[in-house]
Amino acid sequence: MTIIRCKECGLRQFASRPTCRRCRGDLGLFIIEIPLRSNPRVTSTGEKLPAIRIGAALRTLRVQQGLSQSSVAVNAQIERSSLSRIELDHASPSFDTTTRLLRVLGVDSLLFRMRESASRRTN
């Protein structure tokens, strides 16, 4: 787990929320939930797409920053139509493409938090 120091009060804390626990100051973090599909999708060529829906999260980041698909695509060195398919979850980007897109969108680190779904819990 990543530890971050608040710039306002100096409290060291886990990077699990966008604001400081003590002073509620902005920690400069984006926390975006990336939903999982219940079933992996199969493309027309028979290729299985992963159950992670990263396209919606990428689109949310891009829109929050007021960037166009064209500008993000040019800076990430991909076609605009490819970015559109990724954002609609019609295509699954490679790890290299995903990291380039995240860099263009100003993301320098990722934090994944896994939560067991209520339907799978046993008491």
DSSP string for residues in 39-68: S--B-TTSPBPPSB-HHHHHHHHHHHTT--
Rounded to whole angstroms, the Cα distance separating 29 from 31 reads: 6
Same domain assignment for residues 87 and 40: yes
Residue range of the domain that includes 64: 33-111
Q: What is the CATH number of the domain that holds 57?
A: 1.10.260.40
Condensed to tens digits (0 to 9), the pLDDT of residues 29-69 reads 766 655 555 555 666 676 665 566 788 888 988 998 899 99
123 within some domain: no
pLDDT at 106: 84
Same domain assignment for residues 106 and 51: yes
Model confidence at 90: pLDDT above 80: yes
Model confidence at 78: pLDDT above 60: yes
pLDDT band at 101 (very low <50, low <70, confident <90, very high): very high
Same domain assignment for residues 39 and 80: yes
Mean per-residue pLDDT, 62-83: 94
Mean per-residue pLDDT, 84-97: 88
For residue 7, CA distances in Å to 77, 101, 120 come to 34, 27, 39
pLDDT at 118: 45
Domain count, the chain: 2
Question: What rounded mean pLDDT belongs to the chain?
Answer: 78
Q: Which residues pair with 36 in a beta bridge?
A: 52
121 within some domain: no
Same domain assignment for residues 16 and 37: no
Same domain assignment for residues 25 and 79: no
pLDDT at 36: 53
